[in-house]
Amino acid sequence: MAYDVAALEKLIEQFQKIPSIGRKTAQRMAFHVLDLSEEQAKEFADAIIDAHTKIHHCKVCHNLTEAELCPVCASATRDHTTVCVMEEPRDVLALEKTREFNGVYHVLHGVISPMNNIGPDKLTIKSLVERAASGEIKEVIMATNPTIEGDTTAMYISKLIKPFGVKVTRLAYGIPVGADIEYADDVTLMRALSGRSEL
Amino acid sequence: MAYDVAALEKLIEQFQKIPSIGRKTAQRMAFHVLDLSEEQAKEFADAIIDAHTKIHHCKVCHNLTEAELCPVCASATRDHTTVCVMEEPRDVLALEKTREFNGVYHVLHGVISPMNNIGPDKLTIKSLVERAASGEIKEVIMATNPTIEGDTTAMYISKLIKPFGVKVTRLAYGIPVGADIEYADDVTLMRALSGRSEL
């Protein structure tokens, strides 16, 4: 292309690296940044750097935090005997938004996936086993995604921690609220049927 | 929300400020940034700052550039007697991609819009009139968007520069290539009809 501004091109490329962001969207985002004031642009850049320097993993649950312990692990009002095991910090955000769960978390930062060369040692499973071994945990809720890899990881972990006398549960599978049974896939319907509860 | 990481929240907010980016997408983007290496995050932040400090307006056509003149205005192989007037730098990018236009540009950085309190003096119209008055321009192609404001701006400018003996044209309106006539709106069909050409 004859018309090419290097600095703009670089910025577009940065946005384009974000998953599911295409060329056109990246362009629109870059132009938005150009439209910002000098100060706002600096704020944006600082937010990126800050997120990197300030945020690290909670030493207990491995969720993202700015302090040594995440707010959930540090909270005295949460039930520290119930641990919800999740794949990613974004899953924690989703569950926290429901305001229904009062226990604590354990973030795996991935799932066991031999295809992608991710073994149990690349996740935070060892630390979860140590938490279970400490005897302070009564129930572990496996809330990995309902995929083959999520299921496998849940099974693997449950085998490791059951010997410590911990109750291990799994999130219910079924038809999403508001969805149409007509359009539900076979596997979901099958799971909804086998997991039916009494009215 | 009990679980809230300030630095992460700030980053999500920054992404959310981008038009058409919602909370969920902003969150996904912020997590992408967290997944970057320290170095990559710095590159991203630098790209934002660089875009702001390095990019300014070409002194002739007001398009974005890092030099005094944009590559198009500085090019000896482009036809400097034909000027395409566009609303935004992103429009120039779109036209350049076709590789069909060999003239130069003039970027207005907006359209006349009394509703948004944007008068002709807030655009680069004065500079365009000066270019026309210099006698170096033979044709001005009005390529503002086919909206009421784009049309009005095109009309306004054409009245200002016609006295200098400049030929003023407008991009053709019609049915987009590949589109279905069945689904074309009335106004587009009307314009396609009145702008019909001989086969």
d(C-alpha A107, C-alpha A125), whole Å = 9
CB–CB contact B96 A1 (8 Å): yes
pLDDT band at residue B1 using 50, 70 and 90 as cut-offs = very low
- How much is the average pLDDT of B154-164? 93
pLDDT > 60? residue A81: yes
Phi and psi at residue A22, to the nearest 5°: -90, 180
Q: Does B19 touch chain A (CB under 8 A)?
A: yes
Count of all residues that appear for chain B in the document: 199
A3 closest CB neighbour out of B27, B36, B71: B71
B96/A21 touch (CB, cutoff 8 Å), yes or no: no
Q: Percent of chain B beyond pLDDT 90?
A: 55
Residue B161 pLDDT: 92
Sheet holding A103-107, edge to edge: A103-107, A79-86, A139-142, A167-170
Contacts of A70 in chain B (CB under 8 A): 3, 5
- Say if residue B2's pLDDT is above 70: no
With 0.90 as the threshold, say if the pTM is over it: no
Instruction: State residue B186's pLDDT score.
Output: 84
Contact B48 A45 (CB under 8 A): yes
Q: What is the pLDDT of residue A4?
A: 72
Burial of B143 (0-12, 13-18, 19+ CB in 10 A): buried
CA distance B166 to B132: 7
B29–A44: do the CB atoms touch at under 8 Å? no
Could you give all domains of chain A from N- to C-terminal order, each with its CATH number?
Answer: 6-54 (1.10.8.420), 68-176 (3.40.1360.10)
**Burial status of residue B179 (CB atoms within 10 A of its CB: 0-12, 13-18, 19 or more):** exposed
- What mean pLDDT is predicted for residues A43-65? 92
Alpha carbons B121 and B112: distance in angstroms, whole number? 9
- Give the three-class secondary structure for B56: strand
Q: What is the DSSP letter of A162?
A: G
The predicted pLDDT at position A1 comes to 45
What pLDDT band is residue A176 in, cutting at 50, 70 and 90? confident
Report which of B171, B141, B146 is spatially closest to residue B158, judged by C-alpha positions. B141
Consecutive H or E run containing A106: strand A103-107
The nearest CA of chain A is from the CA of B128 a distance in Å of 20
Which alpha helices (H) appear in chain A, and where do they start and end? 6-16, 23-35, 38-54, 71-74, 89-98, 125-133, 148-161, 186-194
> CA nearest A46 in B: which residue?
B45
CB B10 to CB A50 under 8 A?
yes
Assess whether pLDDT exceeds 80 at residue A173.
yes
Continuous H helices in B55-164: 71-74, 89-98, 125-133, 148-161
Measured CA to CA, the distance from residue A146 to residue B128 in angstroms comes to 60
Residue in chain A lying closest to B40 (CA): A14
pLDDT for position B3: 57
Residue of A28, A48, A75, A77 best to disrupt the B interface, most CBs of B under 10 A: A48
Structure tokens, A165: 């006398």
Cβ within 8 Å of A, B 66-125: 66, 70-72, 75, 78, 88-90, 92-93, 96-97
Residue of A nearest to B12 (CA): A47
Nearest to B42 by CA among A52, A27, A9, A29: A52
User: Average model confidence (pLDDT) for chain A?
Assistant: 89
Q: Which amino acid is at A146?
A: P
Minimum distance, in Å, between the CA of residue A196 and any CA atom of chain B: 31
Residue of A nearest to B8 (CA): A51
Q: What is the mean pLDDT of chain B?
A: 89
Question: Which of A46-55, B3-12, B134-143 is the least confident region?
Answer: B3-12
Q: Which of A11-15, A186-190, A194-198, B68-72 is predicted least confidently?
A: A194-198
List the single residue in A33, A51, A92 with the smallest CB-CB distance to B34: A51
Higher pLDDT, A189 or A103: A103
Residues of B in contact with A65 (CB under 8 A): 5
Residues B127 and A75: their CA atoms lie apart, in Å, by: 62
CB-nearest to A51 from B17, B21, B30 is B30
Per-residue pLDDT of A83-112, as tens digits, reads 999 999 888 888 888 888 899 999 999 999
Chain-centroid distance, C-alpha B51: 17
3-state SS class at B108: coil
CA distances from B174 to B38, B148, B185 (A): 50, 16, 10
- Kindly report, residue by residue over B37-61, the tens digit of the pLDDT: 989 999 999 999 998 889 989 999 9
Task: Please list the residues that pair with B137 across neighbouring strands.
Answer: none
pLDDT at B178: 81
Residue B49, both tokens: 């700052």
Q: What is the pLDDT of residue A3?
A: 57
Tokens read off for A173: 């599978």
The C-alpha R_g of chain B, in whole angstroms, comes to 21
Q: What 3-state class would DSSP assign to B117?
A: coil
| Nearest by CB: B31 against A42, A44, A90 | A90
B/e letters for A71-85, b = 16+ CB within 10 Å, e = fewer, are bbbeeeebebebbbb
